[in-house]
Amino acid sequence: MIIKKLENIEKRYLELEKLLSAPEIINDREKFQAYSKELGDLREFYAKIKDYKSVLNELTEAKSLLQDQEMKELAKTEIDRLEPLKEKLKKELEVFLLPQDPLDDRNIIIEIRAGAGGEEAALFAGELLRMYLRYAERRGWQTEIISSSPTGLGGYKEVIFNVIGQGAYSRLKYEGGAHRVQRVPATEASGRIHTSAVTVAVLPEAEEVDVKIDEKDLRIDTYRAGGPGGQNVNKVSSAIRITHLPTGLVVACQEERSQLQNRAKAMTLLRSRLLENAQEEERKKRITARRIMVGTGDRSEKIRTYNFPQSRITDHRIGFTTHRFNDVLDGELDEIIEALRAADQAAKLAKAD
């Protein structure tokens, strides 16, 4: 079965190469871009297929030499080398063959909210914000703050921001959930460790074709923005609050100086939340085991714990622990993300079997 699928992909790759050199495709910008993207998506897969087929041919050749007494030992050595390589490549190809999440290439909206723990939770929300901004910077992605509610000590009750970059959702979708922090607050005289919680939601950025919004279903309010931003920020009603009447969802944006820009960002956030709601309904209909991304912000609903005294970060979903504490908080998240992706792929492969 896998060989047939691989042959079909190999055939499609070669077909795309031929199509992209055809004058009628070169002159059709839309088709050329679509085919180029498809070819790019298949390039690594195609290279892996060639490696796999090459190993299969070498194995066949080595096994044919087992009957030759002079070559028997050499053939066994070669088979011992090739068999593990064949299995490794086969597993990698099986991962490639898993159904891809159509949202993986999307930009995302991340919402961080302080949960249990008061000011200490708000301070940690600020540290998580910096962690994600640094991660985006390392990957060459852009970020934009949509709305924020800072506290006096430098934390955030809530902060919502865009991450704009190829594959942002595919990598950061595993960050959704309650993040627990254990440390001694600066204000704690007795040195007692406090536990606080921050919730993170990761939403794929919805496009207009994903969610249809009727203008008559919206109530749009303007108000004066608060906080830093120069003389204009408190004098002009540039901040936007949009209420989606059918669902009661409310979104707001005040980070931009113009009402038009704030409205555009607020609409993007509203579409993304409506898309997430629709996806959650579909998940419920399919009776999947996936839990809702964000709960009440209670300490017990945790996906990850950041233990400052022990310089330890543990992801409870997969039992992964790292002591590269400062590196992670500085945005070096790839080790955790790769472990989560591998666990996710393994679970999907087991289900496919």
CB 200 within 8 A of CB 111: yes
Beta carbons within 10 angstroms of residue 231's beta carbon:
7
Q: How far is CA 179 from the centre of its chain?
A: 16
CA-nearest of 295, 288, 302, 271 to 108 is: 271
Mean pLDDT, residues 296-318 taken together: 82
β-strands 239-244, 249-253: how paired?
antiparallel
Residue 31 CB burial class (10 angstroms; 0-12, 13-18, ≥19): middle
Q: What backbone phi and psi angles, to 5 degrees, belong to 267?
A: -65, -40
What average pLDDT does range 68-89 have in this prediction? 92
What's the CA gap between 14 and 6, in Å, rounded?
12
- Higher per-residue confidence, 91 vs 310: 310
CA distances from 214 to 141, 209, 239, 303, 311 (A): 32, 13, 21, 37, 50
Q: Is the pLDDT of residue 228 over 80?
A: no
Full-model pTM: 0.72
Tens digit of pLDDT for each residue in 316-353? 999 999 999 999 999 999 999 999 998 888 888 877 66
Tens digit of each residue's pLDDT (9 = 90 or more) over 5-62: 888 899 999 999 999 999 999 999 999 999 998 898 899 889 999 999 999 999 999 9
Residue 182: strand, helix, or coil: strand
Distance CA 120, CA 155 (A): 8
Asked if 313 and 114 count as a contact pair (C-beta separation under 8 A), the reply is no
Inter-CA distances, 227 with 92, 152, 222, 282, Å: 50, 11, 16, 39
Of the candidates 146, 149, 177, 173, which has an alpha carbon nearest to the alpha carbon of residue 162? 146
| Contact status, residue 294 vs residue 200, Cβ threshold 8 Å | yes
Question: Does residue 299 register a pLDDT over 80?
Answer: no
